Amino acid sequence: MDTMRWKQGCLEILDQTLLPGRAEYINCDRHKAVCDAICRLSVRGAPAIGAAAAYGLALGAAEIEAEDRAGFIVAVEKIAADLAATRPTAVNLKWGLDRMLGMLRKHSAVDTGLLKEALLEEAHAVYREDLESNRRMGAFGQALVPGKAAILTHCNAGALATAGLGTALGVIRAARDAGKDVSVYAGETRPLLQGARLTAWEMLREKIPVTLITDNMAGYLMARRKVDLVIVGADRVTAGGDVANKIGTYGLAVLAREHGIPFYVAAPMSTIDFDITSGDQIPIEERDPREVTHIADVRVAPAGVNVWNPAFDVTPGSMVTAIITDRGTACPPYAESLANLRRGSF
């Protein structure tokens, strides 16, 4: 099932808030509709929101009436700023938009019609290349998975979070395809249950054995030696290897270290933010308290209670065994290994 698809001037986005109950697409024919879909988490996961934002910019460009190149570019930059403001943590969003704007500024055409077409082509390329990147991560990552392995993952870093196979789940799929006997423990991922709703759904459809646990069961699961390794995705990795990912990831890394279990992160190079070195510099999105006080619109906490709802946390690179990218696997020290991957010397 496509996370998003382009049809006749319209971006159709699979509404992940309805899964696993219903599989319905939202028709976005204006960039504001894409902004809303990203804010609501109808489309979510770092690479997927990068691609959605790229398509959103192409849609926004088509809305612009300015005929002159300079006025057109200023208007596109304004729309890019609206899209960039939707979610602050996943750097892929900014990466996708920067790539689109970079292409636009370099494009020599003065005809705005041609510029609009070029933006749409670039959005298609962002989406297409993500699938290829998933394949490469899978190939590199599966080499780290033993012949028989129970793998704990968190949130959803699967096909639904990308253009195709997924990052963490892409590695798991590749290990299965390589003939390995893999099974998955999926943490439910409160408050929005991406693990229970999306990862469990994806793994069942893929016929990869999956067992669902609530987030607070992970420690006991590890203590009972039921997990061989942990693989998660990432929303932003610093040049020093600190990893922002779905809230709860840091707790799993601490538990994995305590129990001597490898803790892997799978993330494409577009998730690595070489402009910052420390996790303290990553902006962490805080979301509506209602996500914590309610489950599926049913209030589960008393009205008036204070709520803290950070959507992500930061795991220090020192707790990460290896970072699987689409250019190869980086090992500590990450400042050196990630820089080498960036330079292409790997």
**Contact residues for ligand MRU (CB under 6 A)?**
41, 44-47, 90, 155, 157, 161-162, 167, 194, 233-235, 245-246, 311
If the CB atoms of residues 31 and 154 are measured against ligand MRU, the closer one turns out to be 154
Catalytic-labelled residue, pool 130, 215, 235, 242: 235
Task: Write the burial class of residue 218 (CB in 10 Å: 0-12 exposed, 13-18 middle, 19+ buried).
Answer: buried
Q: How far is the CB of 234 from ligand MRU (least distance, A)?
A: 6
Indicate if 235 belongs to the active site: yes
If the CB atoms of residues 138 and 233 are measured against ligand MRU, the closer one turns out to be 233
- The CB-based long-range contact list for 295-298 (8 Å cut-off, 24+ gap) reads 295/191
Q: How far is the CB of 64 from ligand MRU (least distance, A)?
A: 29
If the CB atoms of residues 245 and 329 are measured against ligand MRU, the closer one turns out to be 245
Closest C-alpha to 230, from 303, 290, 149: 149
Q: How far is the CB of 27 from ligand MRU (least distance, A)?
A: 21
Give the chain's largest Cα–Cα span: 66
What b/e readout covers 56-81, taking b as 16+ CB neighbours within 10 angstroms?
bbbbbbbebeeeebeebbebbeebbe
If the CB atoms of residues 120 and 324 are measured against ligand MRU, the closer one turns out to be 324
Q: How far is the CB of 278 from ligand MRU (least distance, A)?
A: 19
Output phi, psi for 20, to 5 deg. -90, 0
* Strands across the sheet containing 181-187: 210-213, 181-187, 148-153, 229-232, 263-266, 322-325, 328-330
- Give the residue closest to ligand MRU by C-beta: 233
Which positions are annotated as active-site residues? 235
